[in-house]
Amino acid sequence: MFNFVVRRVIYTLILLILVSISVFYIFDWIPVDAARLICSKQCTPALVEANRIRLGLDVPVLEQWWRFMQGLFLGRDYGQGAAAFHCPAPAFGYTFTRHQCVTELIAKTFPVTLSLALGAFFLWMVVGVSLGILAAKNRGKFLDKASTVFVLVGTSLPTFLTGVLIIIFVVLKFNLIDPLQIGNWANPFTDPVGWLKAFFFPSLTLAIAYAATYTRFTRSNVLETASEDYIRTARAKGLSEKVILRKHVLRAALAPLVTMAGLDFSGLLGGAIITEKIFGLDGLGSLSVKAVFQTYDLPIIVATTIIASAFVVFMNLIVDIAYAYIDPRVRIK
Amino acid sequence: MKISIRKAIAAGSAVALTAALLSVAGTSSATAASASPVTGGTLEFYTNGEQFANLDPQRNYTGQHLAFTSAYFMRTLVSYTPTAGKDGFTLIPDLATNTGVPSNKAKTWKYTLRDGVTWEDGSAVTCEDLKYGMSRTFATELFVEGPAYPIQWLDIPGSGGESSYKGPYVKTGQDLYDKAVTCSGNTITYNLKKSVPDFNYYMTYQASGPVKKSKDTGDKYDLHPLATGPYKISKYEINDEFVLVRNPEWNKSSDFRTPYPDKIVVTFNVAEDLRDEITLKDSKPNAVNLDGLAPANNIKAMEDPKMADRRWNLFDPYVSYVTANNAPGHLDCLLVRKAIFFAYPAQALIDLNGGTKYYGEPGDGIIKPNLGLDYAPTTGNIHDKNYKIEGNPEYAKQLLNDAKKVCPATVKRVTDPKKGISYYRTDTATSKKVATIVGDGLKKAGLVVNVSYKPSGTWNANLEKYKTETDLFGSGWGPDWANASTVVPEMWGQGCCNYTSNMKATGAQAASYKLFISNVNKALNELDRNKQASMWKKLNQFGMDQYWYVYTAFTKTQDYWGSKVGGVDFWDPQGTWIFGNLYVKK
Amino acid sequence: MAQSLDADAQAVDQKVVLRTPNQIAWSRFKRNRIGVVSGIVSIIFIAAAFLAPLIAKLTKVDPYALYLDLLDPDRANFPIGKFGGISWAHPFGLTPEDGRDIFANVLYGSRISFTVAIITSVSTIGIGLLVGIAAGYFGGKIDALIGRYSDFLFAFPSFFMIVALSSPLVERLTGTGLLQDNSARLLVLMIFFVFFGWPGFARLIRSQALSLRERDFILAAKSQGASHYRIIVKEMLPNLWATTIIFLSLALPGYLSAEAVFAFLGIGVQPPAISFGILLDDARSKWSSDPAYLLITSGYLIAIVLALNLLGDAIRDAIDPKADRQ
């Protein structure tokens, strides 16, 4: 087990290094001159050069990456002379359009994204898994049919439509939330009601599509497992249906869900772009998309891309290790 | 050129606009605030915008934000009078004891600081602070958004937009600046290299204002500039909230301002749907809508009698325009430009934005009637007997036919389905509709329009590049103060799109352009204001006869506020509220 | 129990008819009424999309024409009449502000959306099959390399990468002068979809190919000295067919909605071209003044996706009865 974990950790780190280097190469290759973009009307070639130095884009790509990495651990200075700023470690960059260290922005937006992701995760796991199990148990009956309809609707509605419809027909029609409050951040520890108000509907929007997929997945897994030989054996042994379901069927049927849920959750941590946009939530997704559409703010774009990748890669690692723990066969692979 | 946030939203394009000084015909439609103002309470503002374009004084160049900052917390040497109507143009001393003493043919300007003016940290505002503030305009490696007049005016050698002085951070040429701007006790002297009779108007701009060197945080100063006025910043979170509270160090005897609310809150990032709902339902009675409404809601709100005392509908200081790139290889043929002008489907575009009642009307030049002295109706263009507001494709076809003889290559290109007229637009929803309608209108005259949508966020930064690439592009402009010297040169002269290539070109087109530029320079140096006005009128006519613009519109503005907001008046110089007069009714 | 005995008895009575898995699946599919109906509906939607020019001609509406006289200038050019200007001539009404016929626009819009969805699905499947089989069949270093590479691709936040990179790439493509704005936008979107889409499908195929490799009939073919090419084309591909069809049934509606989602963010084709995303985004921003517009356009998209999803379910059931859905 220990060897397995070490191997996976090393592999993950290598992957992360490669991905982050590629991110630097990709954004260097595209025809967007960040140095030109933060320099407006009275722009001269000399100014563009000065901006390039300020942004740290004057050195080869690999060195840019190396400085970024150094900044992550040691902090970094941006700009020169009296107009220089220090961003303490972990420094993800400095944005000259928003006059802040990118780390500050991430620290501000991440709680929003995390709240949204956790809320949605909770909703879809509870709804999806329980509905899936119930549908399998009541196969062919009303509940099963209802779940089929739910799955169909959930998978057919694009998130952005669900969100818009929820805002129009639920939130505004019934005045459930003060319109100025939609999308406002509330601290869950000091203001749990405000937090719920802020995140319930966005989480619900996000959860619907996932819940549908999880219902389908759970149902078919439970049915498939229930037809396995060892379940028949258990039944022949005279175990009660409840015990069979809980001890044998669910354990085997839900194990693959761990992988799926882990990966889906880590994907959301990088920002749920559409949901955040519709509800005006100021999360990582909004931060990165606004950086693209408003000014092409390269430091933010690079930082959020790398962070999102890191979430995916690390969650992969965790899931792999967890899976190896559950199913020892994996370790040998 | 700066984005005006409210215009960008209303027009759906990143319109570049600056503050303006204009006399609005008639008084505001708002009910005159006859009741006496109430002190106390919280005054709120809400906007779809993410943040103030800029608060750093040397960066601030947006009419609304200039008015907001100077009314509440950042004082300059000179201010506009906080009164509605024409009196609003009158300059009054603010940090200074007078509005400026010119000498040496307006090449030297002197101001003396008032006693008892302090920063929010209690220290006195000094002459050195003022000098340091203006020097930051030269730090073009950091600040590029603000007006750059000092670079052109101050007696420091340089060419084009470049100065030998590189600002207080790099410090190259510091001695040159120290000679051009001098302090002696409480008196500051500005030495200019040419006569600038309008110099004191520039002193109303935040860019001329003071910055305390020891508190200068460079790029970050934009988030928390030090206050000198009756309020100071207590919170500024982009995308979230901006809060002003009373500044205890502010001294009433040193200022003409009277603060009313105890607290001022600006909420950013309010979704457009929600913003409109709040205004229509008056669900925030103590709040002011900083943006205006989406066109359809705007009409609804304008025609609702219940909202009569929560709105106004006035001509704003801006001219919207679509400029034709007349550089060689583009729309370098007068008749082709003229054909586009006559084919342009103005009516549909105006209707889409709310009709003539609310959007405005087609203009006859780049100088708007409310610029007063400098305006005279032009001839030709919209006064031509062939002009139809919905577009006259028949006449346009005729013009194109005539053009075939003069410039066959250009005609061939603009009617070729594979090439056509290239038209850059921002990628916002309304902008796309406008492009569709323009394309359809010009198609009726046999012209082909090939639209490219560019990201609206990077639009301004790429403007100079776009201007040289595209054939048509639209924007808007308002004068910096009541002189067409801040309009004609910016629009058609050196500040504009095709200046360089036009000056390099040869032939009749180029000759007439060179003549135009030399006349612009003559007008800029003219000290007799009346003579200067007649020169601007002629130049306006000249440009319109060249059809450098294929469409201009004199636009209007509609604004809304809650029922508990009092003291509502239109500030003509800035084209927005007189923020300092607003109070919260009991 | 009795019933199934009867069925067995019948089968014994009849002559033994050998049926391929495809035939079995087809007969199973035909018995699924919902599947058949949704199949027909899907075909109608697809036909309507690709015959859009013909339909527009027959109904005498031009999707590109602006019916400006039917708009109300006193209401910021919103359509005159109830429900967004629905009439016999314009059964779905008109778009606000520029007055285009929504019915024709929906048809033309679905044409672009279907084109994107079909081209991307087919390309994804092509690349996925090629790479997946290569990895699964040959294994070893090729498999390891491909596996690492797809790990690497999976690590990118693909959704955001598309958002961040598409407009610079469109700029680069139009800069070459070979493509106009809209063609470039469409191409970039499809390239991205395929680029980030294939590793998922390739993994699926790889695992299948891996198990197929050890099956008797492949081993038999190998022992008879069949070439790799022959084994892959003749023996493996037919056995991967079911997986491919199932993937296609999920990918098609998936990419159809994806196009709309990206258009919602302003990525993809732009007016005057028409796509679902453009219509939906426009309708969304005007819901308070013209709710019919949003209901009609979103209703049409949901109907298509629903029909395709139902069809997909039926196909899955028919091919893989173990994942019994009823």
DSSP for B24-88? Answer: PSS--SSPP--SPP---SEEEEE-SSSS-S--STTT---HHHHHHHHHHT---SEEE-S-SSGGG
Instruction: Tell me the chain A residues in contact with residue C167 when contact means C-beta distances shorter than 8 Å.
Output: 292
Average model confidence (pLDDT) for chain C?
83
In the three-class reduction of DSSP (H, G, I as helix; E, B as strand; rest coil), residue B576 is classed as strand
Instruction: Tell me the chain A residues in contact with residue B172 when contact means C-beta distances shorter than 8 Å.
Output: none
Query: What's this model's pTM, rounded to 2 decimal places?
Result: 0.82
Q: Which pLDDT score is estimated for B93?
A: 95
Instruction: Tell me the chain C residues in contact with residue B450 when contact means C-beta distances shorter than 8 Å.
Output: 180-181
Crossing angle of helices C276-285/C102-133, nearest 10°? 130
Cβ within 8 Å of C, A 160-179: 160-161, 164-165, 168
Instruction: End-to-end CA distance of chain B: give it in Å, rounded.
Output: 40
| CATH code of the domain made up of B51-266 | 3.40.190.10
> Quick one: average pLDDT of C170-190?
85
Task: Evaluate whether A123 touches A203 at the Cβ level (below 8 Å).
Answer: yes
> Using one digit for the tens of pLDDT, what is the confidence trace for B392-411?
999 999 999 999 998 999 99
Minimum distance, in Å, between the CA of residue B358 and any CA atom of chain C: 10
Kindly list the strands in the beta sheet with B108-112, ordered across the sheet, starting from the edge strand earlier in the chain.
Answer: B101-103, B108-112, B187-191, B181-184
**Per-residue pLDDT for A306 more than 90?**
yes
> Quick one: average pLDDT of A216-221?
86
Q: CA-CA distance, B191 to B209, in Å (whole number)?
A: 17
* Eight-class DSSP state of B571: E
Q: What is the β-pairing status of strands B287-289 and B42-46?
A: parallel
**Per-residue pLDDT for C315 more than 60?**
yes
- Mutation test of the interface with chain A: which of B1, B54, B144, B469, choosing the one with the most A Cβ atoms within 10 A? B144
For chain A, give every domain's residue range.
Answer: 2-102, 105-332
The beta-carbon neighbor of B46 closest among A180, A293, A296 is: A180
pLDDT band at A41 (very low <50, low <70, confident <90, very high): low
- What percent of chain B has pLDDT above 90? 52
**Per-residue pLDDT for B584 more than 90?**
yes
Average model confidence (pLDDT) for chain B?
86
Cβ within 8 Å of C, A 64-103: none
Q: CA-CA distance, B367 to B489, in Å (whole number)?
A: 12
In the structure encoding, which two tokens stand for residue A185, read together?
Answer: 């951040």
**Per-residue pLDDT for B13 more than 60?**
no
In the structure encoding, which two tokens stand for residue C248, read together?
Answer: 């296609």
pLDDT band at A330 (very low <50, low <70, confident <90, very high): low
Q: Assess A267–C contact: CB distance below 8 Å, yes or no.
A: yes
Q: Chain C residues contacting B, CB < 8 Å? A: 64-66, 68, 71, 73-78, 96-98, 100, 167, 174, 180-181, 266, 270-272, 278, 281-282, 285-290
- Which of A5-9, B506-510, C14-18 ranks highest by mean pLDDT? A5-9
Decide if C169 is inside a domain: yes
> Quick one: average pLDDT of A161-190?
76
CA-based diameter of chain C, in Å? 82
> Using one digit for the tens of pLDDT, what is the confidence trace for C220-229?
888 888 888 8
Other CB atoms within 10 Å distance of the CB of residue A48: 16
For chain B, give every domain's residue range.
Answer: 51-266
Decide if C326 is inside a domain: no
In the structure encoding, which two tokens stand for residue A8, read together?
Answer: 């996976």
Q: Assess A259–C contact: CB distance below 8 Å, yes or no.
A: no
Q: Which pLDDT score is estimated for C87?
A: 81
Q: Assess B453–C contact: CB distance below 8 Å, yes or no.
A: yes
Which chains touch A (3+ CB pairs under 8 A)?
Answer: B, C
Q: Which pLDDT score is estimated for B498?
A: 63
Q: Which pLDDT score is estimated for B14?
A: 31
Name the residue range of residue C219's domain: 39-60+99-319
Q: Which pLDDT score is estimated for B247?
A: 96
Block residue for tokens 């996000």: A206
Other CB atoms within 10 Å distance of the CB of residue B511: 11
Q: Which pLDDT score is estimated for A113?
A: 93
The beta-carbon neighbor of C73 closest among B355, B429, B439 is: B355
Whats the size of chain A, residue-wise? 333
The beta-carbon neighbor of A296 closest among B269, B457, B463 is: B457
Q: CA-CA distance, B264 to B283, in Å (whole number)?
A: 18
As for how many domains chain C has, the answer is 1
Q: CA-CA distance, B30 to B565, in Å (whole number)?
A: 12
- Cβ distance A156 to C253 less than 8 Å, yes or no, reads yes
Instruction: Tell me the chain B residues in contact with residue C266 when contact means C-beta distances shorter than 8 Å.
Output: 427
Instruction: Tell me the chain A residues in contact with residue B240 when contact means C-beta distances shorter than 8 Å.
Output: 184-185, 282
- Mutation test of the interface with chain A: which of B142, B145, B275, B491, choosing the one with the most A Cβ atoms within 10 A? B142
Q: CA-CA distance, C177 to B95, in Å (whole number)?
A: 56
Instruction: Tell me the chain B residues in contact with residue C282 when contact means C-beta distances shorter than 8 Å.
Output: 429, 433
Q: CA-CA distance, B399 to B449, in Å (whole number)?
A: 17
Which chains touch B (3+ CB pairs under 8 A)?
Answer: A, C
ipTM of the assembly?
A: 0.83
- Cβ distance C97 to B433 less than 8 Å, yes or no, reads yes
Block residue for tokens 């203006």: B134
The beta-carbon neighbor of C74 closest among B276, B299, B436 is: B299
> Using one digit for the tens of pLDDT, what is the confidence trace for B141-197?
778 788 888 998 999 997 766 788 989 988 889 999 999 999 999 999 999 998 888
Q: Which pLDDT score is estimated for B30?
A: 43
> Using one digit for the tens of pLDDT, what is the confidence trace for B438-484?
999 999 999 999 888 887 767 777 777 788 888 998 888 888 888 88
More confident residue, B87 or C4: B87
Dihedral sign computed on CA atoms, order B27, B31, B33, B38: negative
Q: Assess B460–A contact: CB distance below 8 Å, yes or no.
A: yes
> Using one digit for the tens of pLDDT, what is the confidence trace for A48-75?
887 888 888 888 999 999 999 999 999 8
The beta-carbon neighbor of C155 closest among A15, A31, A289 is: A15
How many contacts (CB atoms, under 8 Å) link A and B? 107
Q: Assess A30–C contact: CB distance below 8 Å, yes or no.
A: yes
A105-332 domain in CATH 1.10.3720.10? yes
C-alpha pair distances (Å), C248 with each of B47, B143, C191: 45, 54, 17
Q: CA-CA distance, B542 to B536, in Å (whole number)?
A: 10
Which CATH number does the domain housing residue C197 bear?
1.10.3720.10
Name the β-bridge partners of B110. B101, B189
Q: Which pLDDT score is estimated for A331?
A: 58
- Cβ distance C76 to B353 less than 8 Å, yes or no, reads yes
> Using one digit for the tens of pLDDT, what is the confidence trace for A265-285?
988 888 788 888 888 888 899
**Per-residue pLDDT for B71 more than 90?**
yes
**Per-residue pLDDT for A98 more than 90?**
no
Q: Which pLDDT score is estimated for A180?
A: 63
Decide if C187 is inside a domain: yes
C-alpha pair distances (Å), A239 with each of A133, A135, A139, A252, B120: 19, 22, 21, 17, 79
Minimum distance, in Å, between the CA of residue C319 and any CA atom of chain A: 15
Name the β-bridge partners of B332. none
- Cβ distance B273 to C287 less than 8 Å, yes or no, reads yes
**Per-residue pLDDT for A299 more than 60?**
yes
- Cβ distance C281 to B435 less than 8 Å, yes or no, reads no
The beta-carbon neighbor of A280 closest among B151, B269, B458 is: B269
